[in-house]
Amino acid sequence: MKTIFTKTIGLLAIGIIAGFTSCNKDNEITRHDNTGNQSRTIAIENEYCGEMTTITLWAGNTPQKDVGTVEVYNNEEYLFVEFTVASPWQLMETHLDISLIPQSKRGAPGQYNSNMYLISSGDNSALYKIPLTFEPGTVVYILAHAAVFNTVSFADETAYGGEYQGKKPWFNMISFTIQECIPDPEPDCYSETAWADGTRYVLQGNWATYTTYTGEYKEVILYAGQTMAAGTVEFSTPDNGFITITVNLSAGWYFQEVEENVKIQDYFEAPTGNPSPGLFEHKGTASGETLTITVPENNFYGVHVDVKFCQRMPV
């Protein structure tokens, strides 16, 4: 896992819907195209590391007109460049060039070296996804060109994102530092012994508990370290002399990564004396957040679980 942010983009033939979340997801691209005058919808989710750079997309020479933005960001595998224009402007076409040295002239947009990495486009947005070959900390220089059209004045303009270079012919340029994807810190975990809630085996010393069963569905709290609610234990109704016992862990709690981390003993009479979970008859090795074991129907059950609590520390 890496320290990343997720950028969610929705591209429409008549507009853009953009949202941000803080979860971590893989890149996903879903396209739904309709013919004729119907909208084309593209939903994309991109992870990115570090900080995103947002630059104004300027149209025309002097004075330059603010027609939208160019956003630049990267994850471990790709560099993303996203064009967005605001109404009444629309995108007619876009081009992209990326280099390690500042450009002295804008050249021919149709021959830019990253044009082939366009993965989605619409009237108001376009997204490029370029395989990342640069190390974190590398500064890249980007020519982000667009031909834009004003639906009110019917004017068309050349547009570039970034800082004005003042050359003839004019152009703007973006500089972007490749961001590092910092590994998430290891979670802080501690292990505990847990028992299904009930009556203590002994009144002093060992706090282990057993649960009384009366032939009806029952749910009790799974206590770790005697006082911490780590989840629940469910006892089903009987079926041909057997019941199922299901251990469900709460958020942040996990089964310890050991063999036979769930141990169950059934009793006809209420047990006395300290229990020995290693000698319990019914055992299972659980992972994830739940485990179900089928055991004989009886009057009392000791349910012992090896658990751990993990909390990811802030970066």
- The residue whose two tokens read 């942010």 is 5
Residue 291 has pLDDT above 80, yes or no: yes
- Which residues are CB-contacts of 276 (< 8 A; sequence separation ≥ 6)? none
Q: Could you give the dihedral angle defined by the CA atoms of residues 162, 164, 167 and 173, in that order, rounded to the nearest 10 degrees? A: -20
Residue 309 has pLDDT above 60, yes or no: yes
Residue 3 has pLDDT above 80, yes or no: no
pLDDT of residue 20: 31
**What proportion of the chain, given as a percentage, has pLDDT over 70?**
84
- Is 301 in contact with 199 (CB distance < 8 Å)? no
Q: What is the amino acid identity at position 250?
A: S
pLDDT of residue 4: 54
**Model pLDDT for residues 31-61, shown as the tens digit of each residue:** 223 233 333 334 456 788 999 999 999 999 8
3-state SS string over 79-124?
EEEEEEECCCEEEEEEEEEEECCCCCCCCCHHHCCCHHHEEEECCC
**Cα torsion angle, 107, 109, 110, 116, sign:** positive
**What proportion of the chain, given as a percentage, has pLDDT over 90?**
74
Q: How confident is the model at residue 314 (pLDDT cuts 50, 70, 90)?
A: very low
pLDDT of residue 5: 61
Mean pLDDT of 208-223: 98
Q: How confident is the model at residue 238 (pLDDT cuts 50, 70, 90)?
A: very high
Question: How many whole angstroms separate alpha carbon 174 and alpha carbon 139?
Answer: 10
Mean pLDDT of 198-227: 96
Closest Cα partner for 67 from 189, 149, 170, 8?
149
Average pLDDT, the chain: 86
Question: How many whole angstroms separate alpha carbon 106 and alpha carbon 96?
Answer: 11
Residue 26 has pLDDT above 60, yes or no: no
**Model pLDDT for residues 264-277, shown as the tens digit of each residue:** 999 999 999 999 99
**Model pLDDT for residues 248-261, shown as the tens digit of each residue:** 999 999 999 999 99
pLDDT of residue 23: 34
Taking CA 31 as the corner, what is the angle to CA 28 and CA 37, rounded to the nearest 5 degrees? 155
**Model pLDDT for residues 91-137, shown as the tens digit of each residue:** 999 999 999 999 989 999 999 999 999 999 999 999 999 999 999 99
Mean pLDDT of 273-285: 96
pLDDT of residue 177: 97
Mean pLDDT of 70-80: 96
